[in-house]
Structure 1
Amino acid sequence: MFRKTLLTFLVCGFFASPVLAQEAAAPAKDEPLTLQQLLERVKEGRVTDNSANKKRERQFINERNKRKSMLDDVNRKIDIEEARSERLEATFNANELQLAELEGLLNERLGVFGELFGVVRQVSGETSAQVGTSIISGEITGRLPALDELAKSKGLPKIKELEGLWYALQQEMTAQGEVKTFTGQIVAPDGIAGAAEITRVGPFTAISDNRFLRYAGDGKFVELGRQPPARFMDGADDLLDADAGELTAGVVDPSRGAILDLFLQTPNLSERIGQGGLVGYIIILLGIAGVLLAFERIFSLTLTAKSINNQLESGQPGGDNPLGRVWEAYTNNRSVDVETLELKLDDAILKEMPALERGLSTIKLISGVAPLLGLLGTVTGMILTFQAITLFGTGDPKLMAGGISQALMTTVLGLCVAIPTLLLHSVAASRSREVVQILEEQATGLVAAHAENNKGR
């Protein structure tokens, strides 16, 4: 009892102490002034708190019941779907068994027809591939969809589809034996497409306006960026200019473009020369210089020989040619003795020799240097080839083709320069010797005549 009284006293003292400390101040509004008022205020607060707590408790219970209801609904749906899944799985398994039984029954009833329809699908696929790349499809369009559908079909083909396959095969065979001109779409190298007249030689070659074409699919032809050599173009001209029913020679590629592609990949003269590299260009420049110099020497010596022959026919001294100058030396020295005259004539002939032999040594030098430059290019090309082998191995021959091409091309260029320049040097040297021989013969004759005249005196 004492402890209870003491506890009450402490509580009252705790709540009363603020009131006693603020007695001098004015009391605030709505604040308790006595212990009784404080007690009433506490009771009111307890009632308010209990009401709020009960309200929150009711809300919590309602939300809990709602969530439980939703969970029960979801569980019921899961049970329904699981039951449905089990039914569908059972139905699927039953259908698989029934499908296997039906397929077996179908194969049994088809017998040889199943193999026949397999062959039909195979032939349809092969025909579709051939028609898709055939030049004839540029003229006869719209054949691929039906063939593709039949080739991919897994069901039994209909009679109409079989007739369509037979008709496509017959149409292709008939068109392969025709030379026909039609209007088709041509795509130029710059990408611009236009309609033009195209002449088709079976399934092998297509020509338009002296240009060879390649079938690009979708009913369009592509003009070759590089046309074949001139002899093939002449055959194309003859074919385009031929009248109906006339027999003429034409260009036919039985490989349907493979041989034509090989011709297009064959390098032309400028490309082959370019394969020789720097050494090849040097050999060509030397060859051109040697040939021009040789022709100049041959032409000049030919004119000189002709002038000398005219001088011999006229028999008159003088003239702007080596023989005239030799005769002039004899005329100016008639009064000297034979030995002196012979020396004078030899001196006159020696003065003419540099002009007659000018450039011959250069031509001979070029004919000897050209093969050596070709050998240099060969060695350089082989070095490049072995470098490629060291870096990349021997798996791809194209990596070694550049060095081998340079090696062979420089050798060819060296021989092509050496052989004609050597022949031209021989011709020019022969012309020079002929002129010199005529001068020596005339000089010897003049000395002999002079000696006889002096002896007669």
Structure 2
Amino acid sequence: MKTSIAKRVLAVAAAGLISVSAVAQDEKATSLDQLLKMVQQSKISESAEHKKREAEFRRQKSNQASLLSQAENTRASEEARSAALEEKYEAQELLVQQKRQQLDERMGSLNELFGHMTSTAGDLRANLDTSLVSAQYPGRGEFLDKLIEKMNSQTKLPTIQEIERLWYELQRETVESGKVVKFNSTVILPDGEQAEQEVVRVGNFNIVSNGKYLEMNDNHKMAELIRQPSGKYQGMASDLQAATSGFTAFGVDPTGPTGGSYLKAMIASPSIVERWHQGKIVGYIITAVGVFAVLLAIWRLIVLSGVNAKVNSQLRSSTPNTNNPLGRVLSVAEENKGVDGETLELKMEEAVLKERPAIESGLNLLKIIAMVAPLLGLLGTVTGMIITFQAITIFGAGDPKAMAGGISSALVTTVLGLCVAIPTVLLHTVVNGRAKRILHILDEQSAGIVAENAERK
């Protein structure tokens, strides 16, 4: 019983010794008396520590009161300074208004003048950004920027020299826009290299160098167009650069002063070869079929022309010659002179039928090609439209140019199919007419021979 009570006391004492000092915690109580001493020492140390903290709190409280008093004094002084500054601001605001009114009275009609000058300088600045004259005279825009900034300022006024220079720049832009001049400048080539070349400026419309058309980029640097206008225009550019006087034919872009949109649209248009490549595999097949049809038609025309010449020669001869269809038909009549009329007629019809396949060879194939070519073109168009609509499904229809370009490429095969079908139909008509003429002669001659044989009977 005594042991149980001792254990309970030890447990309660251990729970109350959580905040015991490090030395007391390292020691282990071996008896109740020793445990009691350790608890007492812990209470004494905690009491001393609490007193120390209370003294620190009192000291800080007195400091905080002093700081609060200082802050209140500072706020009062700042409020007084703020009120003084507000009074000073109001007084200066009135003074500024008086000065502005005085400035407006002294400026008088100059305000309207400066307004017109600012508008003129702004319009001229916008024109110089796209003007080809700036390629020859760079740096004019910087002066105009400074002039516009000065005229918009209420503390600065433009000088007489600056006003005169504005007028001068207007006149120079007008005069230079009507000149064809040569000057040396740096040109950016298509490979990115820069070269010093002689440049010809045609007013404010075009600039050319070494037979190539140039453009002016955003940095007022001249760069050679990657794609050049085809045909005679490059030759005209070379002739203009080589000319020293007189008149020279030259392809001028009328939209040059507004950015040269016509020239860009013209060189951006694909050539015939590029259009043909847009047809892709279906276009290549249609082209191959068309070439085959033309070659077949030419070959049949040559063959039938030779046969026709031999038939005409046979018509002028009384002796059958087996090197032509008419001669072979006449030789059959010579071999069957003694037979009756019906037998002779059958023999002659058989001879003509034997000659017909060779004469009409290739006609059916030409007719089939003329019918199939438009169908191949339609196949290519439908395939291209499917691809275009798939792209629209994925990327959307936000760019009408891309959609129109896809539809345009898809229609190329239809054009190729028609370009093959129409000449093939015409060639088939010519070849068929030549064959019909020869067959007509054979039928006519065989019928005449049968009629003569019937008369003799």
* Class of the TM-score when normalised by the shorter of the 2 chains: 0.7 to 0.9
Q: Which amino acid aligns with 2:360?
A: E
CA distance in 2, matches of 1:314, 1:93: 129
Structure 1 residues 279-290: aligned runs within 5 Å = 279-290=282-293
Q: Who is 2:353 aligned against?
A: 350
Distance 2:238 2:346 in 1: 72
* Structure 1 residue 202: Cα displacement: 0.7
Distance 1:285 1:437 in 2: 34
Q: Among all aligned residue pairs of Structure 1 and Structure 2, give the percentage whose two residues are the same amino acid.
A: 47
Residue aligning to 2:53: none
Task: Say which of 98, 102, 105 aligns to 1:105.
Answer: 102
- Residue 139 (str. 1) matches residue 142 (str. 2): no
Change (3 A) 1:405 1:300: same
Amino acid in structure 2 at the alignment position of 1:140:
Y
CA distance in 1, matches of 2:254, 2:91: 57
SS in 1 for 2:249: coil
**Residue 320 of structure 1 corresponds to which residue in structure 2?**
323
| Distance of aligned partners of 1:275 and 1:89 in 2 relative to their CA distance in 1, 3 Å threshold | farther
Rounded Cα–Cα distance in structure 2 between residues aligned with 1:238 and 1:261: 22
Alignment of 1:211 onto 2:181: no
Cα gap change, 1:244 to 1:403, in 2 (>3 Å): closer
Equivalences for 1:85-96 in 2 at 5 Å? 94-96=91-93
Which residue pairs with 2:157 in the alignment?
156
C-alpha displacement at 1:379, in angstroms? 5.0
For 1:302 and 1:92, the matched residues in 2 are separated by 110
Q: What amino acid is aligned across from residue 365 of structure 1 in structure 2? A: I
Please state whether the residue corresponding to 1:230 is helix, strand or coil. Answer: coil
- Conserved in 1, the CA contact under 8 Å of 2:286 and 2:416? yes
Q: Please state how far the C-alpha of 1:194 moved relative to its aligned partner.
A: 0.8
Cα distance in 2 for partners of 1:219, 1:379 equals 46
Give the deviation of 1:128 after TM superposition: 1.8
Q: Identify the residue that residue 62 of structure 1 maps to in structure 2.
A: none
Does the C-alpha gap of structure 1 residues 372 and 133 become closer, same or farther in structure 2, counting only changes over 3 Å?
Answer: same
* 2:363 maps to which of 360, 364, 378: 360
Q: Which amino acid aligns with 2:211?
A: N
Number of the residue aligned with 1:251: 251
- Give yes or no for contact 1:381–1:407 (8 Å, CA) kept in 2: yes
- 2:378·2:414 contact (CA, 8 Å) conserved in 1? yes
Distance (Å, rounded) in 1 between the aligned partners of 2:284 and 2:385: 18
Q: Output the amino acid matched with 2:147.
A: L
Deviation at 1:337, TM superposition (A): 4.9
Residue identity opposite 1:442 in structure 2:
Q
Q: Residues 402, 244 of structure 1: CA spacing in aligned structure 2 closer, same or farther, 3 A cutoff?
A: closer
Tell me what 1:168 maps to: 169
1:438 and 2:435 aligned: no
Listed as ranges, the gaps of 5+ residues in structure 1 are 1-68
Q: Deviations over 1:104-142 (max 9, x none)?
A: 221222122012112212222221221122111112233
Partner of 2:304: 301
Letter paired with 1:182? F
What is the SS of the residue equivalent to 2:157? coil
Q: CA deviation at 1:411?
A: 3.5
Contact 2:236 2:251 in 1 (8 A): yes
Please say if 1:180 is aligned against 2:181: yes
1:433, CA displacement in angstroms? 1.0
Alpha-carbon spacing, 1:383–1:92, altered in 2? closer, same or farther (3 Å):
same
TM-score, structure 2 normalization: 0.72
Deviation track 1:44-99 (CA, whole Å, cap 9, x = no partner) reads xxxxxxxxxxxxxxxxxxxxxxxxx9999999999999988887776555444433
CA contact (8 A) 1:318 1:324 kept: yes
In structure 1, the partner of 2:36 is none
Q: Aligned partners of 1:299 and 1:78: how far apart in 2? A: 115
Give the partner amino acid of 1:252. Answer: V
Question: In the TM superposition, what whole-angstrom CA distance separates every residue of 1:129-180 from its partner, at most 9, and x where no partner exists?
Answer: 2112211111223322212211222221111111111111111111111112
Out of 417, 421, 425, the residue aligned to residue 420 of structure 2 is 417
- Tell me the CA shift for residue 426 of structure 1: 0.2
- In the other structure, the counterpart of 2:20 is none
Deviates more, 1:245-254 or 1:384-393: 384-393
- The separation in 2 between residues aligned to 1:394 and 1:184, in whole angstroms, is 43
Letter in 2 for 1:103: R
Inter-CA distance 96–194: structure 2 relative to 1 (3 Å threshold)? farther
Q: Is the 8 A contact 1:383 1:403 kept in 2?
A: no
Q: Which aligned pairs between 1:357-436 and structure 2 lie closer than 5 A?
A: 357-377=360-380, 396-398=399-401, 400-402=403-405, 404-406=407-409, 408-436=411-439
**In the comparison of the two structures, how many residue pairs are matched?**
407
Moved more, 406-415 or 253-262: 406-415
State the one-letter code of the partner of 1:130: N
The change in CA–CA distance for 1:430 and 1:131 in structure 2 (over 3 A counts) is same
Q: Alignment partner for residue 129 of structure 1, among 104, 126, 129?
A: 126
Structure 1 residue 330 displacement after superposition? 4.2
With structure 1 as the length reference, what TM-score do the two structures score?
A: 0.72
> What amino acid sits opposite 1:255 in the alignment?
T
Question: Aligned partners of 1:349 and 1:423: how far apart in 2?
Answer: 27
Q: CA deviation at 1:444?
A: 3.7
> Partner letter of residue 350 of structure 1?
L
